[in-house]
């Protein structure tokens, strides 16, 4: 009988402590002590990561919050209002980080800071209002928002640190599952074509290293090897060469071109998910649909690329 493993189960596997979430055994890291200093560092790191994965131009300094709010509220053009709203949210995140930084400095001087402190409440308000505007913010790819990532600074502020880290493992497991979903679509729908019949090992290798990178923090001593493995596996995937039956057949060349571009799209999407460490369900569903279309029609709604000789 197959063993039933409860989510949150922790085991030492090959000398590494891992937690079971979403069907995956995920590498764990020590949880820092729940202090204002630890929360400040966590919120700062999450805010930097947020701006790193969202569209450009949102990292507005907190001291320009009033300007950002005024220009957002005055804008009437819907497209511009979305962008200005995202910029306003960015300024609020930075204002919250500024406040938290000063609170930690006061605490270091011996000043006791309670959760009911006016500045603590203002910090929470900024984070919550920024979160309410997450629908206006797109991932750097321009394909969709990543609400889970956008909400993390507020969660780190409002719940104990150990609870935050526990929730992160759930999101990492969801990201891993999405990576496998994308890889399955590439194998099942692109790899079903005879010219891409040998695609599966290259796809699976890339997905394997992507999942390892998803669970590995940048501070981990193994990150150098992990990242190098992922990048080189991605290069092998994007460089995959289809096998032509008739190299002079225009229809076959067109199908190969679309398939090759679709493989590159899948690689890029897995990279986005791996770096953000959250799933991107809309982009994933769209990609799977394009793969299905390709398996039926031999074409898809991506621009074909020129295949090297």
- On the question of pLDDT at 151 being above 90, the answer is no
Tracing tokens 């889970």 back to the chain, one arrives at 148
Q: For the whole prediction, is pTM greater than 0.75? A: yes
Q: How far apart are CA 59 and CA 201, in angstroms?
A: 40
Least-confidence region, from 16-20, 46-50, 171-175, 193-197: 46-50
Using CA atoms, how far residue 197 sits from 114, 194, 201, 264, in Å, is: 62, 5, 10, 17
Q: Select the more confidently predicted residue: 173 or 124.
A: 173
Binned at pLDDT 50, 70 and 90, residue 309 comes out as very low
pLDDT digits (tens, 9 = 90+) for 213-257: 999 998 899 999 999 999 999 999 999 999 888 878 888 888 899
Instruction: Look up residue 79 and give its two tokens.
Output: 């497209």
Using CA atoms, how far residue 104 sits from 40, 41, 42, 112, 119, in Å, is: 7, 10, 13, 10, 11
pLDDT recorded at residue 55: 84
- On the question of pLDDT at 28 being above 90, the answer is yes
- On the question of pLDDT at 37 being above 50, the answer is yes
Work out the percent of the chain whose per-residue pLDDT is above 90: 51
Query: How high is the mean pLDDT of the chain?
Result: 88
pLDDT recorded at residue 44: 83
User: How is the chain split into domains, by residue range?
Assistant: 36-158, 172-297
Binned at pLDDT 50, 70 and 90, residue 177 comes out as very high
DSSP one-letter string for 224-281: HHHHHHHHHHHHHHHT--PPPSSTT-HHHHHHHHHHHHHHHHHHHHHHHHHHHTS--H
The pair phi, psi for residue 60, each rounded to 5°, is -90, 130
pLDDT recorded at residue 56: 86
Q: How many CB atoms lie within 10 A of CB 33?
A: 9
Q: Select the more confidently predicted residue: 67 or 123.
A: 67
3-class state of residue 11 by DSSP? strand
pLDDT recorded at residue 49: 83
Q: Select the more confidently predicted residue: 268 or 102.
A: 268
Average pLDDT over residues 87-112: 86
Binned at pLDDT 50, 70 and 90, residue 303 comes out as very low
């Amino acid at each position: 009988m197959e063993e039933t493993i409860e989510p949150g189960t922790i085991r030492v596997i090959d000398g590494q402590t891992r937690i079971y979430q979403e069907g995956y055994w995920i590498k764990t890291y020590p949880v820092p002590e729940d202090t204002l200093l630890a929360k400040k560092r966590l919120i700062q790191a999450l805010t930097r990561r947020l701006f790193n994965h969202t569209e450009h131009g949102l990292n507005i300094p907190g001291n320009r919050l009033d300007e950002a709010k005024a220009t957002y509220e005055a804008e009437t053009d819907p497209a511009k209002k979305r962008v200005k709203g995202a910029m306003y949210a960015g300024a609020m995140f930075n204002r919250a980080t500024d406040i938290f930084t000063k609170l930690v400095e006061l605490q270091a001087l011996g000043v006791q800071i309670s959760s009911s402190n006016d500045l603590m409440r203002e910090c929470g308000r900024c984070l919550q209002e920024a979160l309410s505007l997450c629908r206006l913010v797109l991932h750097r790819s321009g394909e969709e928002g990543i609400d889970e990532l956008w909400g993390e600074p507020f969660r780190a502020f409002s719940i104990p640190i150990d609870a935050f880290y526990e929730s992160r493992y759930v999101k990492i497991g969801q990201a891993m599952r999405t990576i496998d979903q994308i890889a399955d679509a590439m194998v099942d729908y692109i790899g079903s074509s005879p010219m891409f019949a040998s695609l599966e090992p290259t796809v699976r290798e890339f997905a394997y290293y992507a999942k390892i990178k998803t669970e590995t923090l940048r501070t981990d001593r193994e990150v150098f090897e992990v990242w190098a493995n992922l990048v080189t596996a991605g290069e092998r995937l994007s460089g995959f060469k289809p096998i032509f039956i008739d190299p002079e057949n225009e229809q076959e060349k067109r199908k190969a071109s679309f398939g090759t571009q679709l493989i590159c799209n899948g690689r890029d999407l897995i990279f986005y998910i791996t770096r953000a460490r959250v799933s991107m369900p809309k982009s994933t569903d769209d990609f799977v649909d394009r793969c299905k279309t390709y398996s039926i029609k031999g074409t898809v709604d991506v621009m074909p690329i020129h295949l090297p000789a």
